[in-house]
Structure 1
Amino acid sequence: MEGQSLKSRVLKVESEESWESFMAQARSQNSPVFVHFGASWCIPSLAMNSYVEELAMTHQDLLFLFVDVDEVKRVASKMDVKAMPTFVIMKDGAVLNKMVGANSEEIRKRVEALTNSQVT
């Protein structure tokens, strides 16, 4: 498959510690965070991976993360994720937006609204 050699712009959260580390990094860089909560068995979640990757390429001022809810259960429960896929946009550790379901158009709108509001 073409383009697979490119490094993913969506970083995988491997543990609660890596979650905390990414959150601290985002706060120090004053960067919004886009989190895709999904699972390897969830077809709609898997279907969104390439879309989220495209968003990450176009919106490089955001930190894009992927959390597998089965691997990092405590983060998923802390973020009150009950269905997959769930997408969360955060800034300074606070949730700005939460969307449940594979609605790429709505996700794009919210990410663009966020990046447009960042421009000063």
Structure 2
Amino acid sequence: MGVIQIKTAEEYKTKVTDAQGPVIVDFFATWCGPCKAVSPLLEKLSDAHSGVDFYKVDVDELASVAAENGVSAMPTFHFYNKGERINEVKGANPPAIQAGLQALLQ
């Protein structure tokens, strides 16, 4: 399925906070080196786990959404189940991202 970029606050609400299934959101910035480094991992995980929706939010384009979610570092990953955030990973930390995904699937 791939990682889909969310473009509006309304889209974020519909796809993330109103979602009924597991969701992972990557808060990133285009100028962020670690964000670019971890991006291929997220694409790979999204291809391997079709039951999880993967989204990304550009913190510069949607600063209000990033602020509402308390994002202060890039990348930051939020893990949701049924619209409720159950985990957060700050930084390009592949083992923590994979652990967050596994916890989401249980």
TM-score, normalised by the number of residues in structure 1: 0.82
Is 1:11 the equivalent of 2:1? no
8 Å contact kept, 1:26–1:63: no
Identity within the alignment, % = 35
Change (3 A) 1:109 1:24: closer
Query: Which one has more relative contact order, counting CA pairs under 8 Å at least 6 apart?
Result: 2
Corresponding residue of 1:72: 62
Corresponding residue for residue 22 of structure 1: 15
Structure 2 unaligned spans of 5+: none
Q: Which runs of 4+ in 1 moved over 4 A?
A: none
**Separation (CA, whole Å) in 2 of partners of 1:93 and 1:25:** 5
Q: Which structure's CA Rg is the greater one?
A: 1
Q: Can you give the 5+ residue segments of structure 1 that lack an aligned partner in the other structure? A: 1-7
How much has 1:93 moved relative to structure 2? 1.8
What is the match of residue 44 of structure 1? 34
Structure-to-structure mapping, 1:40-119, within 5 angstroms: 40-115=30-105, 117=106
Aligned residue-pair number = 106
Question: When the two structures are superposed, what TM-score results if normalisation uses the length of structure 2?
Answer: 0.93
